[in-house]
Amino acid sequence: MFRSMNADRRKELLELITGAFLYVCTLVTLELVKIPVSSLTRTLIYVAVYIFVGFEVISGAVKEAREGEIFSEETLMSIATIGALILGEFPEAVAVMLLYRVGEWFADYAVDKSRDSISALAELRPDRARVKRNGKEISLTPEDVNIGETIVVLPGERIPLDGEIISGATTVDTSALTGESMPAEKQTGDEVFSGCVNLTGLIELRVISTQADSAVSRILKLTQEAQERKAKSETFIERFAHVYTPIVIVCAALLGTVPSFITGDWATWVHRALVFLTVSCPCALVVSVPLTFFCGIGCASRHGILVKGSIYLENLAQADTAVFDKTGTLTTGGFAVKDVTPIGVSRDELVRLSALAERFSTHPIAKCVSALYTGGSTAELIYEKAGMGVKALIDGSEVLAGNKRLLESEGILVPQDIAGSVYTAKDGVCIGALSVSDNIKPTAADAISELKRLGFKKSVMLSGDTEASALAVSKAVGIDETHAKLMPEYKVSEMERLSAQGKTLYTGDGINDAPVLAASYAGAAMGGLGSDAAINAADIIVMDDKLTRLPLAVRIGRRTLKIAMQNTVLSLAVKAAILITGIFVSIPMYIAIIGDVGMLLCATANALRALMIDTPE
């Protein structure tokens, strides 16, 4: 943990540890052992420890005041603890400031973790591009390649820049950008995008955009901008402080001045005002509310759900619109043959010939088909056409297996009433087709049904896949609204539209989902199979990819928020009782401190209930 922190966070942690050590040493020597020192020396020692612990808070309050943020949380802490020092309550002043600093450190650390760089996106941008210049092929960084130049991409390589194919044909894995589960066939004249993987054939591209304007760079920029917008969200305590702090300061000012003008007894009423400020310090809230969320996060982690910070658990609890990616989220991302349509041959014969022919191809769909038949036979490859399929000699017969264009290129008629992913022909006659698609996760339908029972207004799918594939999955799992064939920037646009209608919980797993995850009100990534980019951009990570963890996470978030609100109401009620009493009676500081500490203990005990949510309410 320590090594994963940035330098500023490590420095601050060391300061807190040192401050806590100094505070304990001071308490032991001056309050327990009672080493004889003068009143001035005791005061100076406590003030020195206070300045060491609270300098960052006080300087922050001054800075915010200069920027017009007068009633900040730092201002309340500074005024209240300085008031305690003036009243001679030195141990309490330092303790409150130290507790506040510790709570703020944990909050800041959570924010740092949520802003981790999305390294997987950077890895999508290859370091080198193979460029044709002056009749020679040279290796350059993508930044040095100009629009209009020709680059060469070999099978298995990632495409470095957006371009138009001017030579060759291939199959391209676009899942990193679009979420499209099926590899796309590309030929001369088609556009391909940076970050995609060239699977089968050598191609030459005419560059159509610089690296700064490439598809991958656009996704990276979208993610960073969305994260920056989300980082401005206020925490629970900050929102509370914006209301509570000015009320307390104004009341203290009125208490110290109005009665003094009337009675002329400035000493008594200023003292009461300072007591008022000291007692008003929301110590119980500063400790118990973050602790409540910390316990809720711990409970979630026991169930395989990683929540990056308290604000994300709060957002999760308030979400009312469930939005999903398709491939890898609602589906497994693995291919399977869903339907076999034979023509003039048996089903087993169609499967056998298709599988034997596809053994010669490295295409992902071909591997899926070839796995259907494990028997042996005499088979010999005649040729493979990149992006189309293969032709093989099997038991003396010529067999073609591939897409419809492969059969049509050989002059073979494909019946209009059959559809599939792989068409097969034997000796010049189409003998059928096999439909291939990815598998729906067995927990998908139950998860969506449970979210609806929890009060979610609707469920939506945003997919880069084809409309037919997306609609089939959404119908099977109970999705209310479906949007297909979306590039990442259009996914973000749809998310912004949905976010204007409600508080969205988006669940995805791919690199193309990173901007949408970051832009959503609450973003959940499938952590087991999810990309690093999605995991880093998400607020919540489902470690085992079980979608039923989502409604459980929502229930944990809602229970945690309920406990936090209980602590808030209870703390404010007790505070109000002590403060109102302090207005009319000069209560001793130790009574106020006992009440404050007692409330702190009660709120802490209540907060610990969030850790034991096995069956959330």
Residue 127 annotated among the catalytic residues of the structure: no
Instruction: For residues 163 and 74, state if they share a domain.
Output: no
CATH number, residue 190: 2.70.150.10
Residue 179 lies in a domain: yes
Residue 614 lies in a domain: no
Instruction: For residues 493 and 411, state if they share a domain.
Output: no
The number of residues in the chain equals 617
What pLDDT digit, counting tens, does each position of 449-502 carry? 999 999 999 999 998 776 777 888 899 899 999 998 887 778 888 998 999 999
Which of residues 586 and 129 earns the better pLDDT score?
A: 129
Place of tokens 């207004």: 457
Instruction: For residues 450 and 312, state if they share a domain.
Output: yes
378-411 per-residue burial string, b: 16 or more CB within 10 A, e: under 16: ebeeeebbbbbbbbbebeeeebbbbbbbbbeeee
Task: Decide which of 168, 191, 213 is a domain's last residue.
Answer: 213
Catalytic residue among 162, 173, 320, 325: 325
Alpha carbon 541 to its chain centroid, in Å, reads 7
pLDDT beyond 50 at 231? no
Token pair, residue 335, equals 């291919």
Instruction: For residues 105 and 168, state if they share a domain.
Output: no
Neighbouring residues of 221: CB distance < 8 A, sequence distance ≥ 6: none
Q: Does the reported pTM lie above 0.95?
A: no
Instruction: For residues 521 and 419, state if they share a domain.
Output: no
CATH number, residue 414: 3.40.1110.10
Q: What pLDDT, on a 0 to 100 scale, did the predictor assign at position 610?
A: 80
Instruction: For residues 435 and 448, state if they share a domain.
Output: no
What pLDDT digit, counting tens, does each position of 298-347 carry? 788 778 787 877 788 889 999 999 999 887 788 887 778 888 999 999 99
Given a contact cutoff of 8 angstroms between Cβ atoms, the answer to whether 514 and 121 are in contact is yes
Per-residue H/E/C for 428-449:
CEEEEEEEEEEEECCCHHHHHH
Instruction: For residues 311 and 453, state if they share a domain.
Output: yes
Residue 561 lies in a domain: no
CATH number, residue 514: 3.40.50.1000
Instruction: For residues 131 and 164, state if they share a domain.
Output: yes
Task: Decide which of 509, 543, 577 is a domain's last residue.
Answer: 543
What pLDDT digit, counting tens, does each position of 160-182 carry? 899 999 999 998 887 666 556 67
Q: Which domain holds residue 192?
A: 126-213
Instruction: For residues 422 and 445, state if they share a domain.
Output: no
Between the CA of residue 500 and those of 267, 483, 487, 493, 520, what are the distances in Å? 55, 17, 20, 11, 11
Q: Which residues pair with 399 in a beta bridge?
A: 392, 426
Place of tokens 């119980």: 284
Instruction: For residues 135 and 57, state if they share a domain.
Output: no
Task: Decide which of 62, 83, 114 is a domain's last residue.
Answer: 114
Instruction: For residues 180 and 55, state if they share a domain.
Output: no
Instruction: For residues 451 and 425, state if they share a domain.
Output: no
Residue 254 lies in a domain: no
Residue 8 lies in a domain: yes
Residue 221 lies in a domain: no
Residue 284 lies in a domain: no
Mean residue pLDDT across the chain? 82
Q: What pLDDT, on a 0 to 100 scale, did the predictor assign at position 114?
A: 42
Q: What pLDDT, on a 0 to 100 scale, did the predictor assign at position 176?
A: 65
Residue 5 lies in a domain: yes
Between the CA of residue 142 and those of 124, 139, 452, 486, what are the distances in Å? 12, 9, 47, 26
Counting the structural domains of the chain, the total is 4
